[in-house]
Structure formats: structure tokens, C-alpha cells
Amino acid sequence: MNLFTKLQNIVTTSRITNDPAELYCYSSDASYIRGTPDYVVMPCNTAEVSEIVKLANKHRIPLVARGAGTGLAGGAVPLCGGIVLDMSRMNKIIDIDILDLQVEVEPGLIHADLNRALEPHGFFFPPDPGSSEMCTLGGLIANRGSGMRSVKYGTVTDYVLDLEIVMPDGAVIWTGGRVMKSASGYDLTALMVGSEGTLGVITRARLKIHPLPEVRAAVLAHFNDQEAAGRTVSAIMSSGIVPSACELMDSTTIKAINTYNAELGLPDCEALLLIEVDGAQCSIESDAASVANCCRELGAFDVKIAHSEVEMKELWAARRLAGAAVTRLNPGKTRVYIGEDVAVPLSAIPQMLKKIRAISRKHDLTIMTYGHAGDGNLHTGMAIDTLDKDQWDVLKRAADDIHKAALELGGTVSGEHGIGSARGEYMNQEHGGALDVMIAIKKALDPHNIMNPQKVGLE
């Protein structure tokens, strides 16, 4: 019996494909990495996932779980062929439990759909990736993702209470529980969060939720010196006020955003900090004023406070455009956006910004820098002519320098996008002996290496 027939015994034929045109659609994510699967299967429940995994394990077939394919590190790209499990049909909200501050969801649920469902209850799920309208919760959990508000609310790690996992042999386990804390046994939930589909398939998730804040305000501070903006981030974060977001955009990012949409009219300066505070009505004015004063004291030449939802929406719309806007830096050529995702300790942000500028000059490559500076996470965006091989080489050398600079400053090569197959080569340098422990865990749980092989620098 061939594999197609065996898969037909598990799911209906309409949910299996090996049509080359359809397989092509699953051969990439939002990165530049490519690899084509042999089959795509769309399971509808845990039992189906378990049977497919058992089949793959028995026949040593590589298996890659895929959410929405918005990953930026090639995590969902099937480098070794095999089966892609498209999890998008498992997209239900199973339970909203307000009294216990938690929800249970299937992994294919789109992130923004969960928040739309929670809003009428006065609650939200705080980790907020820029890809909220596209990405799945399973992908976010598997990548240990976060976003603009992690500076106050934490990353997805802080919100996962329990995961249903189909292990590489097809066994189904739950990793945690319904309680807010537990000191019982190894923390398997933490192990699975960020494992990028290399240890099992997430089929259910129980997540913490948070009451919506009463009000928000945003502070926009303009600087003529990038390092002063970098120093301000550290000063704000140690001032006692915890902003709900603290984003940095450098002059190249500002130019790109204004080129993309001139109506946004961001001010022409070396760096912008966009800081949001949220909380109770009684404290918001004074929190925003304290942040604004801190910016002025550290060198901001102009500081504005926005209170209205309309003003804030415009500011955030501009910030959310950053990734897309990089393609407008050098219009008229075939361009690709290659973004890096380093994070450094807060005190090292000014040095990291300086190093990125030096790398840009060294390689004569336009690099824009922006990101979640409040937790040290800086994205660099580079635009090259995709038809020019020399430019690819320059880009790779520049990206290598950026990763090494972050590691030299005690940072990490990925703050939120994951390792996938884009950053595996840095895992040894970043983790040393701890990488050997990760490899040992992978071998123990997945001895036949079927789960997302050749990822996370494990091979």
C-alpha cells in the first residue's frame, strides 16, 4: 500500500494533496528558505494527528507542522520533503473560562481571532505579534514569539498553562494543568514552547488571559542621536514605570515608512521612540508625563503625548508598516526583505545601534533598524536586488556580522522569530554545552528524527 492510500485510511482524500501546484504553496514561509513536501495533510482533530505521526514514525518520514507559514526563519519549510501537517483546520476556541482567567484553543486559531472573541468579556491575550491577523497560536507558541507589548506583559511563555502534544511516537500527553502555578515535575510546557515543532505537534493549548487595561496613552520622542535614544530606553525601563510598549525606529526606517505612505508623515530625525503606557485612568497622565520627561532629559528634542485612540492608531499603523516598508528603500528593482531579530541586554542597545551602523558602512548596504527596544529586541531590515548574486553574498556577510555583534554584547540571535533553518549555525556559539543537552533531549524524544528535521541547529 502506498503512502497516499495509508493517509486515506486516516483522513478523507480531500484533506490530502500531492498536487505539485499545491505542494509549491507549502514550500516556503515568510523567509527566503525553500523546500517542497511530498504530501500535505490537513488534520481535523488530535486522533488524526496521532495516527499520521504514528505512520510517519513507522516509515521514518519527515513531518513538519505548519500554522500559517508567517515564520521568518524557515521553521515550517520541509527541508527534507515528507509530510507537512497543515494545522489550520484545527482552529476552534474550546473554552473561555473568565473565572479562572484562561482559555482553551486549538493550535490553528488565528491570533487576532482569539482577541476578538475575548474583547466583549473585557479580556485579552497579551502577546501581540505584528502578524496577529495572519499567524496561528500554535505557530506563536512553537516559536516562543512575542511582540510590542512583551515589555510589560511578557512573551508567550508567560501565558501557556498546558499543552496537548502528539509526541513523535504518536502518544498524546498534556504537559501542565489548569492551575496558575505548579511545582510538580519537570516543566514540559516550557520545553515545548519554542521547540519549533522538533519535539511534537501541539494539538491544544490552555492559555492565560488578562483584563483589558482601562486606558492607554502614547509618547512619541524625536532624537537627533540614535545612541541617546538607546540610552533613553534603559533609563525609562529602570525608572519604575513599566511601559506597555517601547519601540525604536531609526532614520532609515522613518524614511522607508514615509516613502511607503507619505500621509503618515513621521518626523525626519535620527531616531524615534514610541512608548505606550496603559492602566487606570487615575495614573495614566502622570505615567505618560514621567516618560516624556525622561525622554527630554536624555536628549529628545521634541516630545508629543497622544491620548486619543485615533492618534494612537495612526502611530501604531506607522510602526506596523516597518517590515513592509523596507522594500521601498531602493525602489525600481526586485527587492526582498531579509530581517534579523537579535536581542541584547538593555544597557547594550546604544552599542548595538552603533555596531549596526558600522556594519552598514562596512558592507555599503542600507540597513534599517527598528523594534521592541524595551526588551532589547532590535530588528534589522535589509533590501537587496534578488536577481543579483553578489548582493546576496553581501547580505549574508552583513547578517553574519549582526548576529556576531549581538552575541559579543551578551545577546541572542533571536528575540522572538526563532532559529528555524536560518540561524542554526549560531546555536553552538550562543549556547555551548547547553546545545548538547538540547540535542540529547531531541534524540531521546524523537530517536528517528522525524519531527521537523534539520532545524534549530540540532544537527
3-state DSSP helix/strand/coil % of the chain, to nearest 5: 40, 25, 35
Quote the least distance from Cβ 140 to ligand FAD, whole Å: 4
**201 touches ligand FAD (CB under 6 A):** yes
Tell me, by CB under 6 A, how many residues bind ligand FAD: 36
Among 162, 196, 250, 340, binds ligand FAD (CB under 6 A): 196
Among 142, 207, 315, 450, binds ligand FAD (CB under 6 A): 142
Among 71, 230, 243, 453, binds ligand FAD (CB under 6 A): 71
Of 52, 38, 36, 41, which is closest to residue 16 (Cα–Cα)?
41
The rounded distance, in Å, linking the Cα atoms of 390 and 393 is 5
Among 139, 170, 424, 457, binds ligand FAD (CB under 6 A): 139
Among 62, 82, 126, 147, binds ligand FAD (CB under 6 A): 147
**427 touches ligand FAD (CB under 6 A):** no
Residues 323-342 that bind ligand FAD (CB under 6 A): 323
What residue has cell string 508567560?
Answer: 158
Among 222, 417, 423, 442, binds ligand FAD (CB under 6 A): 417
- Name the 3-class secondary structure at 420: coil
Q: Which stretch binds ligand FAD (CB under 6 A): 71-79, 172-180, 242-250, 387-395?
A: 71-79
**170 touches ligand FAD (CB under 6 A):** no
**253 touches ligand FAD (CB under 6 A):** no
Q: Which is nearer to ligand FAD, 234 or 421 (CB)?
A: 421
What residue has cell string 510538580?
Answer: 184
Q: Which is nearer to ligand FAD, 68 or 384 (CB)?
A: 68
Query: Which distant-in-sequence residues (6+ apart) come within 8 Å of 107 by Cβ?
Result: 67, 87, 90, 136, 137, 138, 139, 141, 202, 203, 204, 205
The rounded distance, in Å, linking the Cα atoms of 370 and 401 is 17
Quote the least distance from Cβ 197 to ligand FAD, whole Å: 3
**76 touches ligand FAD (CB under 6 A):** yes
**83 touches ligand FAD (CB under 6 A):** no
Q: Which stretch binds ligand FAD (CB under 6 A): 61-69, 112-120, 284-292, 362-370?
A: 61-69
**163 touches ligand FAD (CB under 6 A):** no
Q: CA 102 from chain center: how many Å?
A: 22
Q: Which stretch binds ligand FAD (CB under 6 A): 9-17, 125-133, 181-189, 252-260?
A: 125-133
Query: Which distant-in-sequence residues (6+ apart) come within 8 Å of 451 by Cβ?
Result: 63, 168, 197, 198, 199, 200, 201
Among 35, 37, 62, 69, binds ligand FAD (CB under 6 A): 69
Q: Which is nearer to ligand FAD, 108 or 213 (CB)?
A: 108
Strand 83-86 to strand 271-279: parallel, antiparallel, or no bridges (unpaired)? unpaired
Quote the least distance from Cβ 284 to ligand FAD, whole Å: 24
Query: Which distant-in-sequence residues (6+ apart) come within 8 Å of 274 by Cβ?
Result: 218, 219, 220, 245, 246, 247, 248, 249, 315, 316, 319
Supply the DSSP symbol for 357: H
Q: In what order do the strands lie in the sheet with 83-86?
A: 16-17, 39-41, 83-86, 63-66
Quote the least distance from Cβ 91 to ligand FAD, whole Å: 11
What the block records as the C-alpha cell of 321 is: 508598516
Of 285, 273, 152, 297, which is closest to residue 219 (Cα–Cα)?
273
- Name the 3-class secondary structure at 70: coil
**72 touches ligand FAD (CB under 6 A):** yes
The rounded distance, in Å, linking the Cα atoms of 263 and 270 is 20
Residues 22-41 that bind ligand FAD (CB under 6 A): 29-30
Quote the least distance from Cβ 299 to ligand FAD, whole Å: 28
Residues of this chain that interact with ligand FAD (CB under 6 A) are 29-30, 64-72, 75-76, 87, 107, 129-131, 135-136, 138-140, 142-143, 145-147, 196-197, 201-202, 323, 416-417, 452
